[in-house]
Structure 1
Amino acid sequence: MNELDKVLQFDPLAAAEKTTGRRSGGDTLTGLVGMQIAARHNRLKRAALQEAGDSHFSISVADFRAILERLGMTLALELPFHSEKFGYDDTLFIYAGGGLLARFDTYHGDAVNSANVYYCWRPHGSEREWDLFSSGGWEGHPENHRHGDKLTPEQDAALYWAGHHDAREGVAHKIGRLRDKGAFLDPWPAPQFLWLCHYGDNESAPTDAGSTEYYGRLCRERLSLLPAEVQAMVGGGVR
């Protein structure tokens, strides 16, 4: 584990509990100490990521786009939108390439609001390093496979991790670690969950059970706007 890994994985609340010797739940002193440690840690983390040329909270849109391009992605969609609620003109960006798809929306023009990067990845060997991942799961199991069934070496080698990361903080570091330990699949073996929405979409979302279909329709529509090679890369659809 290098120094940046240590900074990114540091847990301020655990450090506060170690300092006070008390559990954080309901303990005022531990909570206050945790807030102080977290504030200092956030400053250190931002400085470390800036020095590494990586994404961090409050990064400019231009710098964030440059990082995605350094990771081998190119612009696939630029979709302007207007927020009636906040009165801002913002943009949904989608970048793709090399088995990666990233989406982010801006806020107030030059701030990155939310950002995610999606991928299907296979390790070089059979070793599983869980700290490489944040969200997702292993896929590619044999038909009729049940949890707990033992896999043959060939079946195990066919598995891949379908996952995604919050890209606002340390995205180049996260993707770099995955590249060191395995390979991103291009094309993806099967369509995956993709969130291709922006914060302005929430203003027209139904408040009942129809919201799932509403957001799903938007994601499918935006996938159809992407270049044919990007649609092919992500398996031709949205789960």
Structure 2
Amino acid sequence: MVELQAIGKWYGHHQVLKNCSCQVREGEIVVVCGPSGSGKSTLIKTINGLEPVQEGVIRIKGRSIQDGGPDFAKLRASVGMVFQHFELFPHLTVLQNLTIAQKVVLGRDEKAAVEKALLLLEKVGMAGHRQKYPSQLSGGQQQRIAIARSLCMDPFLMLFDEPTSALDPEMVSEVLEVMRDLAQEGMTMMVVTHEMGFARNIADRILFMEDGAIVDNTDAHSFFAGAPSERAQLFLSRILQH
């Protein structure tokens, strides 16, 4: 479904991604972990074109995203992205946040867009807040709205960039619960997270990154039973102590 081949990326003279290759198969849940500054967020942002690359090829459903073309926007829209800081439109209500891209990008009419939005607000437990503005909601509520907004676009792949790192500890569980439900429904997901307990419970595969490179790419059971690299073992020992 998604294939990255020998991806390289620089900011000026600083290389942030180094020869990164991986695949995400349909229905698979891949967790990307590693120390801060290792390139995790940059890696997943290359998949929907938010971060352009200078080397390598990225294919989605067999098509290189670097080729562009008239239907590239629709392809990008079918890859959902949930950010660390929610990225909701502050001047729009919850319902408007969920309908605007459906109408502009997918061409849905108002009735169809609202029906889809209400269905997904119900799914994430936020139907009663549809007329509120983001500033009236807690961080956990805003993140659930952000997930629902991405799902409104009927994505075949969901990318999560540290979705709980900006939340108070008591709000983390409500967001992870929504993500667990998506996993159980078979949604293909790529998740950058430090929540290793969550990763152990839902991940099929783990990518461990350090200094811009994918150091380990292994199934989740093997990773937690004994990570292949010494660096990943040290990372796990520190994370799991907390």
TM, length-normalised to structure 2:
0.24
Q: Which has the larger radius of gyration?
A: 1
RCO greater where, 1 or 2, for CA within 8 Å and sep 6 or more?
Answer: 2
TM, length-normalised to structure 1:
0.24
